[in-house]
């Protein structure tokens, strides 16, 4: 067991989650990765000693089971999954929309709830940090993107409510608006060409770690990370 | 059939919905009221000639059935229901939260979708108006109110997305933040004592009608209505 | 003297101010128009019986003098002037910027202050209404438009502060974001071609009157008016 | 001359500015401190080797003179001064208000303009960072605080406009909302009692340095720093 406690990352893949996992493992956290498909996590698990748990982050029982069995006290919880469905409002399929809201928002709630329950039992000035990976769709509802807007707005409302409730109890909650595409050398056409027009996952991970390490007298509850050339 | 077409109000009760129904009936609309409990709508139905449809506004089939059978072309659709669950994040029951999000947000989507499908077939400079009754919980996530925050934020994101998509197609969409309690002489302790510290439902209905009648060169997509003495 | 009291409009021209003056004159207000150049107001004055006062709305003495001499109790005050300077931040001339902020923001303050002083002496449930004509530049600071952003943001902050202070004292304060160009048949290339892609000043005036007539249990303090085809 | 270049801090005192100066001096920047009263800066100057320049940050000539004579290429510019005037809107003195807006907003513009001119000549992926120290008054206009609201809103509008213009040119601009009191052991009643209910200036400085060091693919343009127990 490492000395900083456990960091859970839900929605782990080879991009952002891998960068965060590596950085937090280096910083002294035991890493637990939860994802639908844990096959692609082998490399990250090897490099960080992470435990990999296959799960649907919007399934209450599966989420409860993951948080019930951690290698040490939970200090960091990060929720990444989201479902981006596009289409004119009149053409959207209700069941697809319902499921998408559950992945983006209800899953955020499940991780937020379990993390809060565990962290409230911790000691220390800061009992833990809960981060939600958001998007501009949580600030502005774009045309043709009602489903994603509903999910990301809901997630941001959740994060605000949790910040107001949990900050005075010593748990830091933040919603991070990732305003742009994230580069990923493993995915075709997503590698960075040197222009830094997409967010470097290591750069995001650096800001996540900064949030985790902020002194409790100066916490941020919402930040936006955006490439220098992104219009907004 | 009246000459202005049909106005559908979902979540009809003796308060806001009654005031809106009366005002729109006076203005020349056929009124269709959808509510879980249509028993309490008898008086309103008598006074407006409204058709009353018992339904759960978050049930896709029920909503589709209501909109499939209207007395005339749909010109106004208003969605009022919401589920306000309070409690510390760690104490919330997942199934209760899931259901609450469906009432507040998914139901808004269902009415928004059906209304858009119908209104797109209308003619006229303004093809129709879709109004969502919101709350401050859609702008600010309060402590102990994560469920309501998720639902109202999602509803606001939906309304923004629909505004951006549908305004250029001639359908006016607006989200109305009702920032305060609504007075209701039929409910104990909710009557107005002359201080106007709670919103008068007739006053809200007046602003709803103003939104419906706005010229398409000057549409509002989000407004807040708030009692003069309400802090904000 | 008319029975509704006096309405002062600062920054009066042949566009928005003329529409508002005509509508409020019809509604029973004595109109006082303040503008740098009162020559172009002759037609409006003839049609409304308005008094025209030449003044710089950002000059404290001139503004005080106008409000010190009104035909009846002040019930409505509207501030329209603004200075839109474009340019890269590095190229802006400090004195030009200083003056522009004074026209847009300091002038708003002067009218707000004088109007508040007078209206606090009125009786009635609603003692008066103060409206500031804003722009999207008060919500979003655009590139190459730092000067206008400073002025309109400041004006919006003023309006919010005044709303919170004066609403509980019976004075309604609202900031109106005019998000688009205003059509004007008197100005070359600004007439409406039937597409309603620019705001019709009469449509804006209708929403201004709606704000003035809102019941105090349901006041709006910020609204946006935007053409149906405007992107946002 | 140090290797990181020059960092200018305007509005330097013994609190936040001292913490930032110490941290940036450690990080390798030559420090230039501008303040009305440079007497209180002696200790900081001794510990950092900073140059101290007496000036009024809202005076165009004085600001231009400071930036015209720096020990090395400007890489960081931070603007802290603000004028907080309280009072009912009807009681505010116009000249006091005008001057206060100049200190908070016009001074921000002057530093922003001079810093942009100089940084545009730098090379490197990130040519420089400009930070404005804001307050919640720039997001919400509080009752009895119209003056401060105007200044801070204007400053935030400026920062947004500069972000949109300068980010694609390689200059990082951010507005930092300091939402709470800043502790200061040198000022009576402002020392921290261990509760961290006021912001620790060293904690703020840490976030300032994080902003300065953010990779250009993931820049923040607005952040809020708030004590864990602060209501919001």
In tens, the pLDDT along D118-156 reads 999 999 999 999 999 999 999 999 999 999 999 999 999
Chain C residues inside the 8 Å CB shell of B210: 207, 210
Q: Give contacts of C204 with chain B, Cβ < 8 Å.
A: 218
Distance CA B52, CA A124 (A): 58
Q: Is the pTM value of this prediction over 0.95?
A: yes
CB D202 within 8 A of CB D173: no
**Which residues of chain B are within 8 Å of residue A60 when distances are taken between CB atoms?**
94-95
Residue A230: alpha-carbon gap to chain centroid: 22
Looking at residue C181, what DSSP letter applies? P
* pLDDT band, residue D173 (cuts 50/70/90): very high
Distance CA B184, CA B186 (A): 5
Average pLDDT, chain B: 96
Q: Give the pLDDT score at A50.
A: 96
Separation between Cα atoms, residue B56 and residue B64, nearest integer Å: 11
**Among candidates A170, A200, A219 on the partner chain, residue whose Cβ is nearest the Cβ of D218:** A200
Closest CA to A49 of A22, A74, A73, A75: A22
The radius of gyration of chain D from alpha carbons, rounded to an integer in Å, stands at 17
- Judged by CB atoms closer than 8 Å, whether chains meet at B219 and C227 is answered as yes
Q: Which chain A residue has its CA at the smallest distance from D179's CA?
A: A218
CB < 8 Å to D224, chain A = 220-222
Residue D164 to residue A218, Cβ atoms within 8 A: no
Separation in Å, CA of B135 to nearest CA in chain C: 13
Nearest chain D CA: its distance from C140 CA (Å): 7
Q: Where are any strands of DSSP class E within B83-166? A: 128-134
Average pLDDT over residues B165-193: 93
Contacts of D222 in chain C (CB under 8 A): none
What 3-state class would DSSP assign to C164?
Answer: helix
A96-110, B34-48, B113-127: segment of lowest average pLDDT: B34-48
Partners of residue C199 in chain B, C-beta under 8 Å = 217-218
Ranges of chain A whose pLDDT falls below 50: none
Beta strands D6-10 and D30-35: pairing type? parallel
Distance from CA of D194 to the nearest CA of A (A): 10
| Chain A residues whose beta carbon lies within 8 Å of the beta carbon of residue D223 | 220, 223
Q: What span, in angstroms and rounded, lies between the C-alpha atoms of A148 and A159?
A: 16
| Model pLDDT, residue B188 | 83
CA distance D172 to D188: 36
Reading the block at residue A2, the tokens are: 């490492």
pLDDT of residue A157: 98
Q: What is the torsional sign of CA B43, B44, B49, B50?
A: negative
Q: What's the rounded Cα separation, in Å, for the pair A38 and A50?
A: 11
Residue B171: which of A139, C182, C229 has the closest Cα?
C229
Q: Which residues of C touch B (CB under 8 A)?
A: 125, 164, 167-168, 170, 172, 183, 192, 196-200, 202-204, 206-207, 210, 214-232
D144-173 burial code (b ≥16 CB/10 A, e <16): bbbbbbbbbbbbbbbbbbbbbbbbeebbbb
Contact: A203, D197; criterion CB under 8 Å: no
The H-or-E segment that residue C7 falls in is: strand C6-10
Which of B150, B160, B162 to mutate against chain A (most A CBs within 10 Å)? B150
Angle, nearest 10°, between helix axes D146-166 and D107-119?
Answer: 10
Identify the contact set of chain D against chain A, taking CB-CB distances under 8 A: 125, 164, 167-168, 170, 172, 183, 192, 196-200, 202-204, 206-207, 210, 214-232
Chain C residues with CB-CB distance to B193 below 8 A: none
Rounded CA gap, C125 and B81, in Å? 32
Element containing residue B117 per DSSP (H, E): helix B107-119
Close Cβ partners of A47 (under 8 Å, ≥ 6 residues apart): A22, A25
Are C225 and B218 a contacting pair at CB < 8 A? Answer: yes
Alpha carbon distance B207, D197 (integer Å): 43
Instruction: Report the gap between the CA of B166 and the closest CA in chain C (Å).
Output: 9
Helices (H), chain D: 16-26, 42-48, 60-68, 94-101, 107-119, 146-166, 201-213
CA atoms within 13 A on the CB side of C201: 20
Residues in chain D within 8 Å Cβ distance of C163? 141
- Local confidence pLDDT in tens for the 232 residues of chain C: 788 999 999 997 779 999 999 999 999 999 999 999 999 899 999 999 999 999 999 999 999 999 999 999 999 999 999 999 999 999 999 999 999 999 999 999 999 999 999 999 999 999 999 999 999 999 999 999 999 999 999 999 999 999 999 999 999 999 999 999 999 988 888 888 899 999 999 999 999 999 999 999 999 999 999 999 999 9
Neighbour-count burial of A142, counting CB atoms closer than 10 A to its CB (0-12 exposed, 13-18 middle, 19+ buried):
middle
Between chains, do A145 and B161 touch, taking CB under 8 Å as contact? yes
CA dist A70 to A6, A7, A8, B114, D35, Å?
A: 7, 9, 9, 46, 53
Query: Are D143 and C152 an interchain contact pair (Cβ–Cβ within 8 Å)?
Result: no
Mean pLDDT, residues B190-206: 95
Residues linked to residue B34 through DSSP beta bridges, in sequence order: B10, B53
| Chain C neighbors of B179, CB-CB under 8 A | none
- What per-residue confidence (pLDDT) applies to B72? 96
CB spacing of C214 vs B203 below 8 angstroms: yes
Give the Cα separation of A11 and A38 in Å (integer).
10
Mutate to test the interface with C, among D90, D164, D173 (most CBs of C within 10 A): D90
Query: Cα separation of B104 and B148, whole Å?
Result: 8
CA distance B44 to chain A (A): 31
- What residues form DSSP beta bridges with D182? D199
- pLDDT recorded at residue A187: 83
Distance CA B63, CA B74 (A): 14
Minimal-distance CA residue of chain B relative to C206: B214
Distance between first and last Cα of chain B: 43
| D218 confidence band (pLDDT: 50, 70, 90) | very high
Whether residues C206 and B224 touch (CB distance < 8 A) is answered with no
| Cross-chain Cβ contact B150/A158 below 8 Å | yes
A150·B157 Cβ contact <8 A? yes
Question: Residue D219 in contact with residue D172, Cβ under 8 Å?
Answer: yes
Q: Which among B198, B218, B224 has the least Cβ separation from residue C220?
A: B224
Contact B29, B5 (CB under 8 A): yes
Whether the CB-CB separation of D216 and D224 falls below 8 Å is answered with no
Burial class (CB in 10 A: 0-12, 13-18, 19+), A121: exposed
Look at B200 and C183 and tell me if their CB atoms are within 8 Å.
no
pLDDT of residue C192: 87
Residue D114: predicted pLDDT: 98
CA distance C198 to C178: 10
- All chains having 3 or more CB pairs closer than 8 angstroms to chain C: B, D
Residue C194 CA, chain-centre distance (Å), reads: 26
pLDDT at residue B186, rounded to an integer:
82
Place of tokens 């902003």: D211
Whether the Cβ atoms of residue B138 and residue A157 lie closer than 8 Å to each other:
yes
Taking the C-alpha atoms of residue B57 and residue B37, their distance in angstroms, rounded to an integer, is: 12
* Closest-CA distance of chain C to residue B220, Å: 5
Predicted local confidence at residue A129, as pLDDT? 98
Calculate how close chain B gets to C142, using CA atoms only, in Å. Answer: 20
Instruction: Answer whether residue D72 shows pLDDT above 80.
Output: yes
DSSP code for C138:
G
Rg of the Cα atoms in chain A: 17
B220–C227 C-beta distance less than 8 A = no
- Strands in A81-154 per DSSP E: 128-134
Neighbours, chain A (3 or more CB pairs < 8 A): B, D
CA of A206, closest CA in chain B: separation in Å?
27
pLDDT at B81: 96
Q: Is the dihedral of CA A46, A48, A50, A55 positive or negative?
A: negative
Q: Classify the phi-psi angles of B111: left when phi > 0, otherwise alpha if psi is within -120 to 50, otherwise beta.
A: alpha
Find the CB nearest B101 among A106, A116, A152: A106
First CA to last CA distance, chain C:
43
CA distance D133 to B50: 57
């Amino acid at each position: 067991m490492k000395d900083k406690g456990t960091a859970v990352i839900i929605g782990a893949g080879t991009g952002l989650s891998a960068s965060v996992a590596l950085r937090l493992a280096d910083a002294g956290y035991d890493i637990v990765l939860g994802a639908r498909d844990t096959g692609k996590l082998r490399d990250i698990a090897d490099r960080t000693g992470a435990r990999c748990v296959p799960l649907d982050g919007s399934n209450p029982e599966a989420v409860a089971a993951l948080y019930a069995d951690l290698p040490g006290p939970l200090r960091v919880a990060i929720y990444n999954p989201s479902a981006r469905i596009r289409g004119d409002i009149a053409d959207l399929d209700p069941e697809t929309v319902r499921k998408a809201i559950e992945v983006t928002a209800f899953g955020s709630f499940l991780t937020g709830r379990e993390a809060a329950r565990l962290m409230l039992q911790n000691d220390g000035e800061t009992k833990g940090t809960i981060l939600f990976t958001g998007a501009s769709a949580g600030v502005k509802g774009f045309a043709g993107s009602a489903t994603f807007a509903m999910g990301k707005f809901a997630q941001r409302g959740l994060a605000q409510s949790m910040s107001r409730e949990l900050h005075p109890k010593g748990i830091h909650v933040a919603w991070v608006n990732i305003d742009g595409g994230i580069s990923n050398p493993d995915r075709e056409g997503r590698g960075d060409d040197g222009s830094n027009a997409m967010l470097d996952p290591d750069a995001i991970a650096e800001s996540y770690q900064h949030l985790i390490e902020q002194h409790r007298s100066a916490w941020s509850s919402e930040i936006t990370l955006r490439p220098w050339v992104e219009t907004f």
